A and B are shown apart, each in its own frame.
Chain A
Amino acid sequence: MNLGSANFTAERRLELRLVRRRRRLRTLVIYTLLIILSIIALLPVMWMVAISLTPLNKVFQYPPRLIPDPLSLTGYHEAVTLFPFYRYFLNTSLMTAARVIGTVFSASLVAYGFARYDGPFKEVLFVFILTPIFLPEQVTLIPLFVGYTRLGWIDTYNPLVLPAFFGGSAVYIFLLRQFFMTIPTDLDDAARIDGASEFAIYWRIILPLAKPALATVAIFTFMASWNDFLGPLIYLTSKEKLPLSVGLSRFLGESGTTLWNSLMAAAVLTVLPPILLFVFAQKYIMQGIAITGGGAKG
Chain B
Amino acid sequence: MRSREAMYLYLFIAPGLLGMILFHLAPMIVSFGLSFSEYEITSPPEFVGFQNYHRMLFVDELVGKSLSVTAVYAVVGVPIRLFLQLFIAMLLNRQLAGIRIFRAILYFPSVVAGVAIALGWILLLNPTYGAVNHLLWELFGIIGPRWLNSTQWVIPGLLLMSLWGIGPGIVINLAGLQGISAELYEAAEIDGAGSFRKFLHITLPMMSPILMFNLVMGIVSNFQIFTQAYVMTSGGPANSSLFFVLYLYRNAFEFFKMGYASALAWLLFAIILIMTLAVFRSSPLWVYYEAKRERT
Contact = CB atoms under 8 A, between A and B. Distances in A.
A266 interface: yes
A119 B134 CA distance: 59
Contacts of A200: none
A88 to B, nearest CB: 14
Chain A: interface size category:
35 or more
Interface in A103-121: 106-107, 109-110, 112-120
A138 B109 contact: no
B285 interface: no
Contact of A113 (B12, B120, B249): B12
Contacts of B34: 139, 143
B7 to A, nearest CB: 8
Contact of A134 (B12, B100, B276, B291): B276
A143 to B, nearest CB: 4
Contacts of A106: 15-16, 19
B10 A112 contact: no
Interface residues of B: mostly helix, strand, loop or mixed?
helix
A275 B224 contact: no
B291 A184 contact: yes
Interface string A198-214: 10001000000000110
Given A134-B273, A147-B26, A115 B8 contact: no
A61 interface: yes
Given A41-B108, A138-B261, A249-B115, A34 B291 contact: no
Contacts of B17: 110, 125, 128-129
A264 B116 CA distance: 7
A166 to B, nearest CB: 3
Interface string B10-27: 111101111110111011
Nearest to A107: B16
B272 A114 contact: no
A223 B209 contact: no
Chain B: interface size category:
35 or more
B16 A167 contact: yes
Contacts of B114: 227, 229, 245, 248, 267
Given A136-B265, A178-B209, A213-B175, A147 B12 contact: no
Contact of A34 (B7, B102, B107, B268): B102
Most A CB atoms within 10 A — which of B164, B178, B261? B178
B255 interface: no
Interface of A: 27, 30-31, 33-34, 37-38, 41-45, 47-48, 51, 59-64, 106-107, 109-110, 112-120, 122-123, 125, 127-136, 138-140, 142-144, 147, 162-163, 165-168, 170-171, 173-175, 178-186, 198, 202, 212-213, 215-216, 219-220, 223, 227, 229, 245, 248-249, 252, 258, 260, 263-264, 266-267, 270-271, 274-275, 278-279, 282, 285-293
10 contacts: A44-B120, A63-B134, A120-B6, A134-B220, A140-B24, A174-B216, A184-B290, A288-B178, A292-B182, A293-B183
Interface of B: 2, 5-13, 15-20, 22-24, 26-28, 30-31, 34, 41, 88, 91-92, 94, 96, 100, 102-117, 119-121, 123-124, 128-131, 134-135, 164, 168, 171-172, 174-176, 178-179, 181-183, 206, 209-210, 212-213, 216-217, 220, 224, 226, 245, 248-249, 252-253, 258, 261-262, 265-266, 268-269, 272-273, 276-277, 280, 289-292, 294-295
